[in-house]
Every structure is written in structure tokens, then in C-alpha cells.
Amino acid sequence: MGTVEASAPLVAVRVISAAGATASPSPAITVTSAAPGRILVQRPSTQLKKHFTFNLAAEPSLSTAHIWPAFSARVKQAATLGESVLILASGAPASGKSRTIRGDENAQGFGALAIADMLQASQTAAQEAGHQASLTVSAVICVICAGGRERLLDALLPAETVQSNQGLTVRDHADGLPHASPTFVEALTSAQVSTAAEAEQLVQQAVAATQREEASAATVRAHLLLQCAVRTVS
């Protein structure tokens, strides 16, 4: 995967609608700088060509606690209106992209912060309407192996669980019903979250699983994808 050119290490972050983020992580995708705060994503094999602009370019000295308020309201709105959003961090090598999303021992990352905000906003809106809201979290590790082969793993399974060498399977919905996404990962674990502390625990479990894969000699790169779903019932 290419890198975004920058004169100094930056982490550019944008919350975008799912409609503008149909590409899956793949070695065949190239990412290049188009202009300050703007990147071009291309996949020649499918003639994919999309431009993304970013809401914020953050200097390395800023913590996630300083940056997250710029996106919190948009994520809460999505949780209450039933919209889909994607949180994406992009930047130069070693600029802190993974730490921004995953967090570290000093600060929560955008993953846990987003889940906590979605939980709080959906529960408040549901209570005001006399309904109940629940939030489930799933986590997929996209492992890119030598030779470019991709393997999807469930990041919420216990560490001692041996997963298939072929990984999880991505399938299309075949029931004819409307879905938030036309595809899904078969047999993926989902965990219900009731508190912000539970959200942080799940994210750290998924991060630890990703780090184990990154440490493997067979892994070229590993990406963690966190997915949250809000359900409201009368």
C-alpha cells in the first residue's frame, strides 16, 4: 500500500459515510497525495478511483483526547439516526495511525472512544423515546501474508483458539432483505457492550490479537477493523 506524502509526520483523520469507503484493504490499492488534506485511492484492477478529504490534520504532540471532540458529535449523530460511518486514520509512516485508532497505555484510541460515544448517545435517545438500545461489537484482523495472500481472523476469540489457515469467509446476503452492508463476514463473533469500560476491554482484546499476528514471521501487515452495530427495540 502506498503512503500519503507529507513534509512532516502528520495523522490525518476523517469520519466519512460508508458510501464513500467501499474499498477493502489490499496490496493492489495505491494511496497517493493529491493536495494538502486530500488523498487519491486507486485500484487499477477494478478502475476504482476515489478522492478523500480530511477534517483534521493533527500534529504528533496532540493526544486522542484533544483530537476526538472534533468527531464525537458526528459519531453520536450517526448512532441516533441509524447512519453508517467509517473512521479512517491516514498519514506518513510511523506518524501514529495505529495508535490513534487503537490507543495505548497512556490514552484511549478512537476505537474505544467511538464505541463509548455511540453507546451513550443511543441509550439516551432510546430512553427519551421509551425504547431500549443495545450495541454489539465485532473485530476482524485482515492479515496480509507473504505473496499478498489475505486472511481474515476473528479478533474477539480467546488467544488459545486455533483459527483456520484459510481464515473467515466474506459472503453476500442472499435473503433478499435490506442490510446496512451487502456483504458480511461469516461466523464472526459479536459481543454486546453495556458500558464504556466493556468497550475499552473489547478493543484492547482485539488490539492484543492484532499485535500477535503482527509479530508472526508469516505476516507482512495486519489491519484491525472494528465494527459496531446499534439496535433499538420498542
- Asked which of 38-42, 138-142, 180-184 is least confident by mean pLDDT, the reply is 38-42
Q: What is the pLDDT of residue 53?
A: 65
Confidence of residue 233 (pLDDT cuts 50, 70, 90): confident
Mean pLDDT of the chain: 78
Task: Tell whether the model's pLDDT for residue 155 goes beyond 90.
Answer: yes
Confidence of residue 23 (pLDDT cuts 50, 70, 90): very low
Q: What is the pLDDT of residue 225?
A: 92
The whole-angstrom separation of Cα 18 and Cα 10 is 24
Confidence of residue 204 (pLDDT cuts 50, 70, 90): very high
Do the beta carbons of residue 78 and residue 17 sit within 8 Å? Answer: no
What are the C-alpha distances in Å from 219 to residues 27, 125, 150, 201, 205? 13, 43, 10, 25, 19
Do the beta carbons of residue 187 and residue 168 sit within 8 Å? Answer: yes
Q: What is the pLDDT of residue 18?
A: 35
Model confidence, pTM: 0.74
